[in-house]
A and B are shown apart, each in its own frame.
Chain A
């Protein structure tokens, strides 16, 4: 299990290294100095360099097994988090088209039905009740402007 954590740490540090490099490249495309002083590229450039240096340090120090990384317990499973992530991504993509209330009700119903195995009818009822509660608290009471979708709700 420790080996998996060690690789995971390194993979994330590698991601930081790439991001640091991209930041340096992006910062070089911005003005480094203006006639008054440092420009918009000054801070990100040094930040990118710092990020690359620290990433290399983490990659190097991770070659010694670390006790800091999260260790997996026997009951771990990727299934639910992956499904929820996919559901969240789909919900974020559908939000501008379906509007806030419809998306929330569908998403909640989906979570209860697909992830928690609640019956379809009960899941739909919970989804509708949640959307109604959101409508009452945020739209009616707090006056948050609603996001209206293509169906006009």
Chain B
């Protein structure tokens, strides 16, 4: 009852006119930032700190939290419409959202993305409200071996994501892991594979690879093979774009599973929205009756990605509010803002400043509803974009990618990297090499390497430690079993196809 009364008080404070205004400004800014590739939520939160420093901590944190989760809503729009992920996590939304847009169903994809986000966001705030102390305690049990198990499981989902090109997918993952080793060694700080270029000392940011492989590579491929472009047009009114009750009902189990997964992964430091979205997508593909639809325009794929990445937002606040540990770059910025206001994030925060914490949590409920309405209301304008002829649209996409990439670190060198990844994206697409595993491995690479090396340091070089701790052993066994089953299924399928061909040839 204590939680409920605190929450009611928080909601009451959150709907005061000033807090509502700050919440709206925050979610609107977040939505716009999410649409623009390269300008991520952490940067936008950082930019707002000087402006909000004069305000009250509650209003400021409501605004900055709004930017954080608003960016995840906005990122889905460009991912669906032009295959450009506005936010890192939106890359997974593009897997099915973009094919849906190509089939003239951009409105449906956007409305389902908004509903998935609303569900994931609301679920995660409820999770934050009720489960924060319990989840924080469980997340504390995740040492390096457990984190290695989780990341290893995440990487194995790569094979699940690309059933028909499993070995190629693993090869692409190796390339992603290799790129993630470039720059400074994650444990010793020694320069590694930097080729003497100071620009490479910080490594290659994930967003450059993702935008290059997916957006620039896609443009190059569409210019090479212009045949599918005739299917892009979409004349959707808001009424037509809204999913039917049946469609919504069919996605409810997906939303529940993915929001729950996203919430839990969000609580783990370093994991966050992108990892959540990838894991959820892989899980839903494995659970689907007809997994072949995934990647071709499955609505569940869009819902899974959005429910998981928004589900992670509330999760990311758990270690921040309960342990004082920011789990991502965005929550680190929020922690910095809290300290600036003289509030120490951690277990005492909820005890000493309950009104502040519960008002921020209350504003997250309100903000999610605002964002869903904003996302749905803007659909007719966004789908109008799809009516623009491709000859006019692709230069816009290229310019958006260039500016977004440059804005990331203000380096001309990054634009050259973008071009390189664009060319690679085109070549991989032509050769049938799926780019998603590369991108996922690039995100997970530093986590995986750090966790493995720390495990080996802890155990004095004994790798069996990974199998003697129950959580890590369970995760690794699930991953290996999953891989073995997927390989076996593929082999069976190939044998059946070969027999079918032989039979057809015999006739």
Contacts and interface: CB of A to CB of B under 8 A. Distances in A.
B290 interface: no
Interface of B: 36, 39, 47, 164-165, 167-168, 170-171, 174-175, 177-178, 181, 185, 187-188, 190, 192-193, 216, 219-221, 223-227, 391-392, 395, 398-399, 402-403, 406-407, 410, 412, 415-416, 418-419, 422-423, 426-433, 449, 452-453, 456-457, 460-461
A104 B395 contact: no
A19 B416 contact: no
Interface string A36-60: 1111101110011011001101100
25 contacts: A13-B171, A19-B175, A19-B178, A38-B187, A38-B452, A38-B453, A40-B187, A40-B190, A43-B181, A51-B174, A54-B167, A70-B432, A75-B225, A76-B224, A80-B223, A84-B223, A88-B419, A91-B419, A92-B416, A95-B412, A111-B395, A116-B395, A137-B36, A142-B407, A144-B410
B410 A145 contact: yes
Contact of A80 (B224, B428, B433): B224
B405 to A, nearest CB: 10
Contacts of A95: 412, 415
Contacts of B406: 100, 144, 147
A61 interface: yes
Contacts of A96: 412
Interface residues of A, number: 69
A85 B419 CA distance: 8
Given A9-B431, A108-B399, A144-B410, A43 B452 contact: yes
Nearest to A41: B192
Nearest to B177: A47
Given A47-B177, A72-B225, A143-B47, 8 more contacts: A5-B431, A9-B431, A31-B190, A70-B432, A92-B416, A92-B419, A107-B399, A112-B395
Contact of A30 (B175, B192, B392, B398): B192
B125 to A, nearest CB: 28
Interface of A: 5, 8-9, 11-13, 16, 19-20, 23, 26, 30-31, 34, 36-40, 42-44, 47-48, 50-51, 54-55, 57-58, 61, 66-70, 72-73, 75-78, 80-81, 84-85, 88-89, 91-93, 95-96, 100, 104, 107-108, 111-112, 116, 130, 134, 137-138, 142-145, 147
A81 B431 contact: no
A36 B457 contact: yes
Contacts of A137: 36
Nearest to B432: A69
A40 B181 CA distance: 9
Nearest to B219: A84
Contacts of B453: 37-38, 42-43
B427 A51 contact: no
B432 A66 contact: yes
A147 B225 contact: no
A6 to B, nearest CB: 10
Nearest to A15: B427
A67 B501 CA distance: 13
Contacts of B164: 67-68
Given A12-B433, A40-B192, A134 B403 contact: yes
A5 B428 CA distance: 11
A138 B431 contact: no
B39 A142 contact: yes
B47 A34 contact: no
B53 to A, nearest CB: 16
B99 to A, nearest CB: 15
A55 B429 CA distance: 17
A94 to B, nearest CB: 9
Contact of B181 (A47, A55, A75, A107): A47
